[in-house]
């Protein structure tokens, strides 16, 4: 009995001790300035054409190397049109790419995904897209997507082929992450080959680019997609993209596509159009009488009430 209690008590006390130490570590890390913040300052100075400051950046321990890699990732992902030579020299001098690849091999799950994402921001000469291919086929979607970003960042010229060769459908979140590469200037904002391609992933990415950057001149291509496409999710996404751009929707093919949608989806589109500021006439042109009445109620709710009721002020 006493032995049982002794084992139990030592186990629980060890757990309590571990949790308390972790809590204190988290608290103290929050209060003290992290090495990552210091590195961010040093990297921004380096990028501001102060070439000598690169020599002064030191990272001896594994922890400080990781902090430096994270700092480079943060700076690169929040800036546009950086000179990569200085960063590449820094990465090579401190062998950050090799260090990260070693860590990627050792880690698992979301930690590996995070390291792959950091790797996508590091300029490197030693590693090619082939090194990340094994992670691009992972069953974990986070790892898969981070590896895809790393591959595209290392080899931006073959980005379209890489996406076209994917065996799975990219989720809207995956597409949003690819758009971050476009914002950084790693990939070109070339929506035309994407919209013109029959591949589902490429088309969805093209639509996301048109929507995010508000490319109104893509209207004709969007109508072409609606005319030629047979997959409903892509047609629906295209109609929503046209609505986001505020373009007219009174096309016979759009009316036909709306007829094939479920009632819930049509009502959802009605709400979307009223939010986007479409007039009642524009909505009536594409919807049935019942749905037009529903849309009228929604659109009217954006207009000021002029008739005073007893309950109102």
Give the residues lining the site for another protein (CB under 8 A). 1-2, 4-5, 8-9, 11-13, 15-16, 19-20, 22-23, 26-27, 30, 74, 77-78, 110, 113-114, 117, 141-142, 171-177, 179-180, 183, 208, 211-212, 237, 240, 264, 268, 271-272, 274-275, 294, 297-298, 300-305, 309, 311-313
CB 49 to another protein: min, Å? 26
Residue 184 DSSP symbol: H
Of the pair 211, 221, the CB lying nearest another protein is at: 211
Rg (CA), the chain: 27
CB closer to another protein out of 15 and 133: 15
Tell me which residue has tokens 């595209």. 152
- Compute the least distance from the CB of residue 261 to another protein, in Å: 13
Minimum CB distance to another protein smaller for 19 or for 106? 19
Q: How far is CA 219 from CA 162, 223, 238, 289, in A?
A: 26, 6, 10, 27
Output the smallest distance, CB 108 to another protein, in A: 12
- Distance, in Å, from the CA atom of 88 to the CA atom of 107, rounded to the nearest integer, reads 24
For residues 54 and 68, which CB has a smaller minimum distance to another protein in the complex?
A: 68
User: Based on CB atoms, which residue is closest to another protein, 155 or 244?
Assistant: 244
CB of 9 to another protein, least distance (A): 6
DSSP 83-137: -HHHHHHHHHHHTHHHHHHHHHHH--HHHHHHHHHHHHHS--SS--GGGGHHHHT
Q: What does the alpha-carbon distance between residue 308 and residue 311 come to, in Å, rounded to a whole number?
A: 8
- Minimal distance in Å, beta carbon 275 to another protein? 5
Per the CB < 8 A criterion, the answer to whether 252 and 276 are in contact is no
Query: Between 204 and 286, whose beta carbon lies closer to another protein?
Result: 204
Contact between 127 and 97 (Cβ < 8 Å): yes
The length of the chain in residues reads 313
When the beta carbons of 44 and 53 are compared against another protein, the nearer one is 44
State the minimum distance, in angstroms, from the CB of residue 241 to another protein: 9
For residue 78, the minimal CB distance to another protein (Å) is 8
Q: Is 108 left (phi over 0), alpha (psi -120 to 50) or beta?
A: beta
Q: Which is nearer to another protein, 193 or 233 (CB)?
A: 233
Q: How far is the CB of 229 from another protein (least distance, A)?
A: 17
CB burial of 277-313 (b: ≥16 within 10 Å; e: otherwise) equals ebeeebbbbbbeeebbebbeebbeeeeeeeeeeeeee
Contacts of 34 (CB under 8 A, 6+ apart): 67
């Amino acid at each position: 009995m006493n032995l049982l209690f002794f084992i139990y008590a030592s186990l629980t006390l060890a757990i309590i001790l571990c949790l308390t130490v972790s809590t204190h570590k988290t608290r103290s890390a929050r209060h003290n300035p992290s090495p990552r913040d210091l590195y961010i300052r040093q990297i921004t100075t380096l990028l501001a054409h102060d070439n000598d400051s690169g020599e002064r950046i030191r990272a001896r321990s594994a922890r400080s190397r990781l902090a430096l890699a994270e700092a480079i990732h943060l700076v690169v992902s929040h800036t546009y049109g950086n000179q990569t030579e200085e960063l590449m020299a820094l990465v090579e001098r401190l062998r950050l790419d090799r260090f990260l690849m070693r860590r990627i091999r050792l880690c698992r799950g979301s930690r590996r995904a995070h390291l792959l994402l950091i790797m996508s921001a590091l300029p490197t000469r030693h590693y090619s897209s082939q090194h990340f291919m094994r992670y691009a086929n992972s069953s974990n979607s986070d790892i898969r997507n981070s590896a895809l970003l790393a591959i595209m960042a290392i080899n931006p010229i073959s980005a379209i082929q890489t996406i076209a060769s994917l065996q799975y459908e990219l989720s809207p979140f995956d597409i949003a992450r690819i758009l971050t590469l476009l914002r950084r200037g790693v990939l070109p904002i070339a929506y035309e080959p994407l919209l013109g391609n029959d591949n589902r992933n490429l088309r969805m990415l093209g639509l996301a680019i048109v929507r995010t950057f508000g490319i109104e001149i893509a209207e004709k291509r969007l109508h072409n997609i609606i005319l030629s496409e047979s997959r409903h999710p892509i047609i629906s996404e295209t109609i929503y993209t046209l609505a986001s751009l505020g373009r007219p929707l009174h096309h016979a093919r759009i009316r036909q596509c709306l007829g094939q949608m479920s009632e819930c989806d049509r009502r959802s589109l009605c709400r979307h159009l009223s939010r986007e500021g479409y007039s009642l006439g524009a909505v009536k042109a594409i919807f049935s009488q019942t749905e037009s009445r529903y849309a009228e109620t929604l659109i009217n709710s954006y207009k000021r009430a002029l008739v005073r009721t007893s309950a109102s002020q």
